[in-house]
């Protein structure tokens, strides 16, 4: 892939291999909560205490997990190849902790909180930010409540202009650990294909949109991605 422009999109599967719970369990619940109760603007309006405490638990849990070999392999590929845009659907910081830089988080970040008044986002991971109590901003004359800096159902994913521009112009589009259920992320492979990019999938099992890829590699990303990265770096 020497000299090629590469876009990598990662999903919940890569974080699951580090012990992060995937977005939906087989019973349709998200850590014993209905999605409607914790991941919509209406849920925040109706019961902000429950939503806040749910995300605070996730923010605390994020510090208990570590990057796995797939995260490290992607970071190595970025360093060695150079022309790589990394987009993730994940809200954890495992890519950054694994050595990746300039990660585009299209669904937000757990490590940041957003002021409800100014909509400014700040990294808030000190002990005082991780308690069950609400956190207030420091950007307003009268401090406002902060909300999780997460894209909930019904909200527009972040950085979509930059994402589509990168996918439109890439030569190779690689997806790692994504189920192909959540749009618009699941439709990016079709955009890449229409623009003539080579499309590659690395996933535990074939997802719903597997037929959209030129190449499909099934298995744990942490087990198969390091060898694939070495192969890609050796390609002329």
pLDDT of residue 114: 97
Q: What percentage of the chain reaches a pLDDT higher than 90?
A: 82
Q: Quick one: pLDDT at residue 2?
A: 80
Task: Name the CATH superfamily housing domain 1-20+66-107+157-236.
Answer: TPP-binding domain (3.40.50.1220)
> For residue range 23-40, what is the model confidence (pLDDT) as tens digits?
555 544 556 677 788 999
Query: Binning pLDDT at 50, 70 and 90, where does residue 180 land?
Result: confident
**Percent of the chain beyond pLDDT 70?**
95
Dump pLDDT digits (tens) for 47-79. 999 999 999 989 999 989 999 999 999 999 999
Angle between helices 69-81 and 221-234 (to 10 degrees): 10
Q: Centre a 10 Å sphere on the Cβ of residue 127 and count the other Cβ atoms it contains.
A: 6
| Cα 133 to Cα 33, 51, 53, 129, distances in angstroms | 20, 12, 8, 8
The mean pLDDT value of the chain amounts to: 92
**36-40, 84-88, 200-204: least confident range:** 36-40
Do the beta carbons of residue 30 and residue 37 sit within 8 Å? Answer: no
Label residue 182 by pLDDT band (50, 70, 90). Answer: confident
Distance between CA atoms of residues 17 and 34, nearest Å: 23
For the chain, the C-alpha Rg in angstroms (whole number) is: 18
Q: Does domain 21-64+109-150 have CATH number 3.30.1600.10?
A: yes
CATH 3.40.50.1220 placement within the chain: 1-20+66-107+157-236
Which residue of the set 107, 129, 181, 217 is catalytic? 107
Give residue 94's pLDDT.
98
Q: pLDDT digits over 119-178, tens only?
A: 999 999 999 999 999 999 999 999 999 999 999 999 999 999 999 999 999 999 999 999
Q: Is 107 a catalytic residue?
A: yes
| Nearest one of 179, 211, 172 to 195, comparing CA atoms | 172
CATH 3.30.1600.10 domain span(s) along the chain? 21-64+109-150
The pLDDT assigned to 9 comes to: 98
pTM: 0.93
For residue 4, is pLDDT > 70?
yes
């Amino acid at each position: 892939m020497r000299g090629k422009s590469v876009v990598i999109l990662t999903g919940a599967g890569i974080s699951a291999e580090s012990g992060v719970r995937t977005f939906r369990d087989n019973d349709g619940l998200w850590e014993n909560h209905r999605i409607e109760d914790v991941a919509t603007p209406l849920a925040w309006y109706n019961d902000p205490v429950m939503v806040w405490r749910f995300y605070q638990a996730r923010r605390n849990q994020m510090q208990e997990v570590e990057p796995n070999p797939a995260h490290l392999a992607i970071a190595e590929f970025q360093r060695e190849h150079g022309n790589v845009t990394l987009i993730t659907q994940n809200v954890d910081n495992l890519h950054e902790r694994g050595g990746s830089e300039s990660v585009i988080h299209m669904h937000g970040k757990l490590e940041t909180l957003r002021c409800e008044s100014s909509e400014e986002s700040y990294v808030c991971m000190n002990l005082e930010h991780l308690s069950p109590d609400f956190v207030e901003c420091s950007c307003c004359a009268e401090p406002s409540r902060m909300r999780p800096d997460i894209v909930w159902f019904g909200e527009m994913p972040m950085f979509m202009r930059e994402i589509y521009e990168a996918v439109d112009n890439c030569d190779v589009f690689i997806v790692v650990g994504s189920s192909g259920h959540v749009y618009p992320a699941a439709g990016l492979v079709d955009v890449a294909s229409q623009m003539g990019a080579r499309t590659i999938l690395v996933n535990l099992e074939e997802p719903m949109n597997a037929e959209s890829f030129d190449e499909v590699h099934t298995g744990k990303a942490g087990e198969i991605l390091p060898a694939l990265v070495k192969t890609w770096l050796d390609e002329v």
